[in-house]
Amino acid sequence: MVKLLSRFRYHILIFFAVIGPGFITAMVDNDSGGIYTYSAAGAKYGYLPLWTLLPITGVLIIAQEMCSRMGAVTGKGLSDLIREEFGLRITFVMMTLLVLVNMTNVMAEFAGVASSLELFHVSRYVSVPLSGVAVWFLVVKGTYRSVEKIFLFSCVLYVTYIISGFLVNPDWKEAAIYSVKPVLLFDSGYIYMLIGMVGTTIAPWMQFYLQSAVVEKGVTAKEYAASRVEVVVGCIMTDVIAFFIIVACAGAIYSVAPKDIQDAKEAALGLKPFGQYAFLLFSAGLFNASIFAACILPLSTAYSVCEGLGFEAGVNRRMREAPIFYVLYTALIVVGAGVVLIPNFPLVRMILLSQVLNGVLLPLVLIFMVILINKSDLMGEWVNSRWFNVATWVTVIVMIGLTLAQVGIAVKGTP
């Protein structure tokens, strides 16, 4: 009995020792863009889109699990492996795309910071430069451990969405029904929205970040079982948050009058009639999500690029030792935060462009991941099983199809 208890304690310890990478990556998935997508879905179609969250969770788990497994088994980041197995030229193309896609993502995150703090009457000319500087210092002056703690705390703050979901007092019965009952409307706006929801689920940078974080954390193949649990729990939590965002907007906006919202700020304002707290919590959540992603994106980009191209990287190196790393990291923040301050900057067009580039990059990343994880000289006994491979290829093909559809719609213009 004592032995059993101590074994249980051992497992719990291992779990908390590996917690971090999976949770953080899954949570950052709900960045300002994600929150906007879910809010817009809830505001226009109410509870109908909820059913998509179940398959989305599945897809997310499949993709994240592969990356954390590769990280734990090989001890190398995804861009390391791509470089070693596919050569410099392909790596270079991918890294260029990754920088461009992430650059526009960083812009979107800082725009999220600006608009969420404007809800609290803070001018963007104050909030954006300050958060840019704060983000830069946090990562450059912090250590991996301290930064991870702050990130994990940030994950906890997502609970604001759950509370604001409750405060709006939505129709829980309907929410429950539509969570499991698929509804397909042959309405172009509805289909576009569904594609958008799935499209925001897997971003290329997440795969790079997660794998590097697992490596940095020092998770080994032995502890991997606990890491897998963490990934799964993280993915489920992410979609629980998404559920509450949709439900809050469905209860507050859709049930009053369905409408198209233009940004996440409008969703927060729509919650205002349901009390000051619902509004405040929703806005605070948006700020948290934006700044959280604004921390992680530039960092993960700089890491991936330097790993892949073989430059010195890491915040524990001095600037003289890792010049390219620091230049890239700083440039991403400066440009990302800077453009938000330029009046009349075509941010929407940039985000559209980023979706197109994303549509080129994501299929590459996913296909490479599946090829890598099936290499037995890399993964040994940890290669995909046959059934997992079938599930993975289906996921990859569906994701590629949906992403390309999203690109097509983005290029042609929203219906």
Partner 1 sequence: MADNLLFFSELLGMPVLDLKGRRIGRVKDAALVPVVHASRIDRFLVTGGLTWLTIRWDQIRSISLHKGLSLSDEVLTPYHDDEYMLRIGRDLLDQQIIDVTGRKVVRVNDVTLEIQNDGARDSLAVLEVDVGLRSVLRRLLQGALPPRWIRRLQERIPPNSIRWEFANVIEPDPLRRLRLNISYEKLEEMHPADLADIVEDLSPAERGAIFETIDNEVAADTLSEVEDPKMQASILEGLEPEKAADIVEEMAPDEAADILSELEEGASEEILEEMDSEPKTEVRELLEFEEDTAGGLMNTEFVALHENASVDDALAALRGNEDLLDGLNALFLVDSEERLIAAVPLARLFVAAGDAKLRGLAAETLIQAGVDQPQDRITELFDKYNLLTLPVVDDDGKLAGVITADDVISILRKK
Binding footprint of partner 1, residue count (CB under 8 A): 22
Cα separations (Å) of 287 from 18, 112, 116, 283, 320?
27, 7, 5, 6, 34
Q: Does 171 help bind partner 1 (rule: CB under 8 A)?
A: no
Stretch that binds partner 1, among 152-160, 271-279, 304-312, 364-372 (CB under 8 A): 304-312
312 counts as binding partner 1 under rule CB under 8 A: yes
Site string for partner 1, 361-380 (x = CB under 8 A): ----------------x---
Pick between residue 57 and residue 304 the one whose CB is nearest to partner 1. Answer: 304
CA-CA distances (angstroms) from residue 201 to 84, 230, 290, 302?
A: 28, 18, 16, 22
| Closest separation in Å from C-beta 314 to partner 1 | 8
Q: How far is the CB of 147 from partner 1 (least distance, A)?
A: 15
Picking from 50, 292, 294, 18, the residue whose alpha carbon sits closest to that of residue 156 is 292
Q: Which positions from 111 through 140 interact with partner 1, judged by CB under 8 A?
A: none
**Contact between 189 and partner 1 per CB under 8 A:** no
How far apart (Å, rounded) are the C-alpha atoms in residues 275 and 277? 5
Does the footprint of partner 1 cover residue 76 (CB under 8 A)? Answer: yes
Decide if residue 89 touches partner 1 (CB under 8 A): yes
CA distance 103 to 301: 9
* Contact range with partner 1 by CB under 8 A, out of 88-96, 240-248, 263-271, 365-373: 88-96
Of the candidate spans 155-163, 226-234, 280-288, 310-318, the one that interacts with partner 1 by CB under 8 A turns out to be: 310-318
* Residue 69 in the binding site for partner 1 (CB under 8 A): no
Interface positions, 195-254, toward partner 1 (CB under 8 A): 215, 218, 220, 222
Q: Does 188 bind partner 1 (CB under 8 A)?
A: no
Of 54, 55, 58, 75, the residue at the interface with partner 1 (CB under 8 A) is 75
Distance (Å, whole) CA 267 – CA 98 = 30
Under rule CB under 8 A, residue 324 binds partner 1: yes
Q: Which residue lies nearer to partner 1 by CB, 118 or 216?
A: 216
CA distance to 348, 373, 399, per residue, from 73 (Å): 40, 10, 25
Q: How many CA atoms lie within 13 A of 269 on its CB side?
A: 13
Find where tokens 């909820």 sit.
Answer: 50
C-beta closer to partner 1: residue 311 or 382: 311
For partner 1, the closer of residues 97 and 250 by Cβ is 97
Is 230:15 a contact under the CB 8 Å cutoff?
yes
Using CB under 8 A as the binding rule, whether residue 321 contacts partner 1 is answered as yes
Tell me: does residue 11 bind partner 1 (CB under 8 A): no
CA-to-CA distance for 108 and 289, rounded, in angstroms?
Answer: 11
Q: Is 320 helix (H, G, I), strand (E, B) or coil?
A: coil
In degrees rounded to 5, what are phi and psi of residue 147? -65, -40
Residue 156: CB atoms within 10 A of its CB come to 11
Contacts of 56 (CB under 8 A, 6+ apart): 197, 198, 201, 239, 242
Interface residues with partner 1 (CB under 8 A)? 17, 74-76, 80, 83-84, 87-89, 92, 215, 218, 220, 222, 309-312, 321, 324, 377
